[in-house]
Structure 1
Amino acid sequence: MRAGVWHSVRRMEQEQTAGAGEGAGRRRFLVVAATGAAAAGLGALAGCGSGGGKRKPSEQGGGGQRPEEAAGAARGIDVKVENARPGHADWHVTQAGPARAIEGFADKVSVLPGEAFGLHVSTTAPRFTVSAYRMGWYGGARARLVWRSQALPGVRQPEHTVDSATRMVRTHWTRTATVDTKDWPEGCYLLRLDAQGGQGQRFVPITVRSAATAGRTVIVNAVATWQAYNRWGGYGSYDGPNGAYATRSLAVTFDRPYEYDDGAGLFLVYEAPLIALAERLGIPLAYATTTDVARDKGLLEGAAAVLSLGHDEYWSPEQRAHFTAARDAGTNMAVLGANCCFRRIRLEASDLGPDRTVVCYKSSYEQDPGFRRGHPATVDFRSPPAADPESSLLGVIYDGYPVDAPYVVTNPGHWLFEGTGVKAGDSFAHLVGVEYDKVDTGFPTPRPIEILAHSPVVCEGRPSHQDSAYYTVPSGAGVFATGTMRWVEALDATGDGRSGANHGLDARAGALTTRVTENLLRVFAAGPAGRTHPAQDNVKAVYGRS
């Protein structure tokens, strides 16, 4: 991982995959560090295991909006104007402090501009402040300070509990403060909590979402996946305190902080570099989360493109259906990670509101009360019952973990490689990892599909390949998948590859991924890419079979 970013290696999963050909595989991931009496009287604040109903915007999270605020949200943000404003390079968490010095969460995953949300904060300090940073480019500073609170009284909130049926960690924290987002532009935000006297800092992520996306490229924060990997309180969707798969949570909630040193979940490594690049380009952008897309059938209507970022594994059937409908209506789609759309989830309410619980029983789906009531099984999309492999949408399919391999260019004349100077056979060390996808026509695969990179890998002794691929559909939409989880992270690779930062990715990998992503975003922002850049099927040429 890049220099200066706290990281750790932890075991994530020892799991029997549901369906035929079940097998156990251990997954290891590099993940980033990815209120009671205090609330009284505050009011609103100013200022290699191989995997075998629509609501009005004003109803989507409470709080409501004044008519002029709704109109402003529909107009969207001028990214060029926003990023011309002065940035603030001091946004980082630099003094994490002890584990429970300060931490918190928002009671909404996203809000429309002008909507309020509640902060639930626990701290050992007598007072703390909140600083809201909008994440973007800002001349390289990557953030702009939009709002800062007055000093607020701190309180140590009660200990969490663990649900006996699902092992879901629950907090019962009271609201510490209400934050008004008036004059906050759409975008992705990190709220930094600063305990008095330098005792500790933590982030709380929140998205100020777009009310409409027509004509814009939609950045979708993969919040369900952030939460699945969150082990705050000792439990996540992969294991419990003893590290065993059998003790994992069967449901996880947004009603808790994110684990690790900075509290930002998976945002800073798997999403922030792409957001900075897109905002630097100045293309029209819109912002949403995976839960927003799942909830609102019409959210992606008319969008130029929709982006799935670096680690976007957990999808609801509704989210998948809405992505598919957008593609079939001419919206381009980019998958900038790997292992995307792999787990089928169900979103349920928590004590604090709708869609704040991520249910995923995996191989124990038959124990799920929701499944018994007729809901789809929360098991891998490709697994029975009702198997629906992700390749029908993505073009590629998840093939395994773990790998660390060079990325090998096989189609250098493709428009996505324009300006890179690459030749056939050029390779980029460490760019394939830690999970990877490939084109496999044994699964449903849209055609024509064009393979751009075909990289040999060996996954737990099994030879295979990673593929980057591009396909087009009759609506004119183009779909591109990188086939590697390290793509977004590589956008920040500037070193010589010997320091260990970013898994050893070097400046060549950074330059390649940056130029390809720039080409992708510019073409996708212009409208249905298949009309100007139709895919030329080359599966037989690459694999020797069609």
Structure 2
Amino acid sequence: MAENHRPGYADWAVGNRGGDRAVEGYADRVSVAPGESFVLFVSAPTGWFRAEAFRMGWYGGALARRVWSSGRLPVREQPMPGARGTTRTVAAAWGPSTRVSTRGWPEGAYLIRLTAASGEQRHVPVTVRSRTTAGRVVLVNAVATWQAYNTWGGHSLYHGPGGKGDDAGRSLAVSCDRPYDRDGAPLFLTYEQPVIALAERIGLPLAYVTSMDLDREFGLLDGARAVISLGHDEYWTPAMRERITAARDAGTNIAFLGANACFRRIRLESTARGDRRLVVCYKSDWTHDPAYGKDDAAVTTDWREPPHARPENSLTGTLYESNPTSADYTVTEPGHWLFSGTGVTRGSRFPHLVGTEYDRVTGDPSTPRPIEVIAHSPLVCRGVRSFSDSAYYTAPGGAGVFATGTMRWVESLNGDGAHGIAPATAGFTRRVTENLLRVFAAGPAGRRHPARDNLAEHHPYAGDPVWTHQQLW
């Protein structure tokens, strides 16, 4: 695309993070239409800060272009709030710092870098969403999942201030009205940015939306060629699932490049800053959800659990099983079109590419057919022997649906050796991802590449109620 021929700006990352409260901020919108404005709320003890906006892409390997920079802006340290209410929600009711116009900014995923007078930095992610997705490959920023894991203020949907063992202190609803922890964009940079760089490098027609946009806008996916769920896309509302399922049924290809996708059913509610800025998920405490007994389809728990169970594999093709694990990715169908140009053979292995969470094909009644297992990777997780599966199925409307079955797929694209994955593995995962994106961008993949069902070959005991993992070994 022409945008990526413009000069890049390699110095876009956070350098000196400093202490936890050195500088931090959030935006009052997770996404804006091109030309709209958003407000930044910033806290720092240093008297002034500046902000820079970077559009993430390829840009000749620089990975970003700076589209805007402020001058020095006044700032003050704003209070760290405590958790409030029965949902133990943390929200930073700060005063505004500056309003930012996106006039002239292209659609895309952006990082706003805050730099304090003392040099410390943080990111604030904002998406300039696409007005239409027709004819495009849609990249979904998983904002709901980002917030679920965000520990800023001491509380996430997983634990309270006591750390991972503090389940009783976890939030039941988390707010977008607060900064993100760590560098300000940890899940985006780990699980999404590498795919954005690859997709923009090969020049595909792309559209950018967030999980909140999918929930809000009926018909947003009309005419889309493909929808790409990136590396960690766990938290979905019923509306998100219905709209992506409807897109699949209309012939839009779907890819799940991570594992554990569409696992939690959530509800989005309003905050003081606007609608769909509160992510509600009671999880195992679902009987305490105010929707229970009134609207069971809206009760927030795991999708596969009551009171309105709909296992995720009816859409994804694979079922999340467990974590943590680290195992070799094992190719079983080297002639599949996704492996074209990789040079793999049956049994080719890529150490540590499977992990830390993984999915597998089960063959239960929710499994779409025909489904083709193209990588079947033995592993051990929590003392249990099992498998991770990469799988491809085709839907009656012509759509192709692919799931990698591992959360490390997107991370591996960087080739930086994370998790012990050999840097050379990036050549394999990049080529497979490029094959996927190019074929999915061309229209309903199932019409040209129908799945060859091989479930009986790789999971001969699937569907047997007395089957156990150990019986396969």
**Does the TM-score normalized on the shorter chain lie above 0.5?**
yes
Deviation at 1:254, TM superposition (A): 0.3
Partner of residue 29, structure 1: none
Deviation at 1:108, TM superposition (A): 0.3
Please show how residues 285-296 of structure 1 align to structure 2 within 5 Å. Answer: 285-296=206-217
Partner of residue 509, structure 1: 425
Deviation at 1:348, TM superposition (A): 0.2
Which of residues 195, 218, 224 in structure 1 aligns to 2:138?
218
Give the superposed CA RMSD: 1.0
Deviation at 1:380, TM superposition (A): 0.2
Please show how residues 166-185 of structure 1 align to structure 2 within 5 Å. Answer: 166-185=87-106
Partner of residue 377, structure 1: 299
Which of residues 399, 405, 410 in structure 1 aligns to 2:332?
410
Partner of residue 159, structure 2: 239
TM-score normalized with structure 1 length: 0.83
Distance 2:130 2:59 in 1: 20
Q: Contact 2:362 / 2:459 at 8 angstroms: preserved in 1?
A: no
Distance 1:395 1:100 in 2: 43
In structure 1, give the amino acid aligned to 2:306.
P
Deviation at 1:373, TM superposition (A): 4.1
- Name the SS for the 1:170 alignment partner: coil
Distance 1:197 1:538 in 2: 60
Q: Contact 1:539 / 1:545 at 8 angstroms: preserved in 2?
A: no
Q: Does 1:89 find its partner at 2:89?
A: no
Cα deviation, 1:162-195, whole Å, max 9, x if unaligned, reads 1131111121101111100000000000000011
Which of residues 319, 323, 328 in structure 1 aligns to 2:240?
319
Percent of pairs with identical residues: 59
Distance 1:541 1:203 in 2: 47
Q: Does 1:128 find its partner at 2:44?
A: no
Which of residues 283, 291, 295 in structure 2 aligns to 1:362?
283
Q: Does 1:263 find its partner at 2:184?
A: yes
**Unmatched 5+ stretches in structure 2:** 463-473
Q: Contact 2:354 / 2:408 at 8 angstroms: preserved in 1?
A: yes
Partner of residue 20, structure 1: none
Q: Does 1:529 find its partner at 2:445?
A: yes
In structure 2, give the amino acid aligned to 1:255.
D
- Name the SS for the 1:266 alignment partner: helix
Which fold has the larger relative contact order, with Cα–Cα distance below 8 Å and residues 6 or more apart in sequence?
Answer: 1
TM-score normalized with structure 2 length: 0.96
Partner of residue 128, structure 2: 208
In structure 1, give the amino acid aligned to 2:171.
S
Partner of residue 435, structure 1: 357
Which of residues 392, 401, 404 in structure 2 aligns to 1:482?
404
Distance 2:162 2:9 in 1: 41
Deviation at 1:345, TM superposition (A): 0.2
Cα deviation, 1:415-438, whole Å, max 9, x if unaligned, reads 000000000001000000000000
In structure 2, give the amino acid aligned to 1:218.
V
Distance 1:466 1:372 in 2: 36
In structure 1, give the amino acid aligned to 2:139.
I
Query: CA, structure 1 residues 481+90, in 2 after alignment: closer, same or farther (shift >3 Å)?
Result: same
In structure 1, give the amino acid aligned to 2:453.
D
Which of residues 456, 474, 480 in structure 1 aligns to 2:378?
456
Partner of residue 345, structure 1: 266
Distance 1:504 1:127 in 2: 41
Q: Does 1:141 find its partner at 2:48?
A: no
Moved more, 329-338 or 243-252: 243-252
Partner of residue 19, structure 2: 98
Partner of residue 62, structure 1: none
Deviation at 1:545, TM superposition (A): 4.7
- Name the SS for the 2:219 alignment partner: coil
In structure 2, give the amino acid aligned to 1:191.
I
Distance 2:310 2:293 in 1: 20
Distance 2:323 2:19 in 1: 33
**Unmatched 5+ stretches in structure 1:** 1-79, 495-500
Deviation at 1:372, TM superposition (A): 4.9
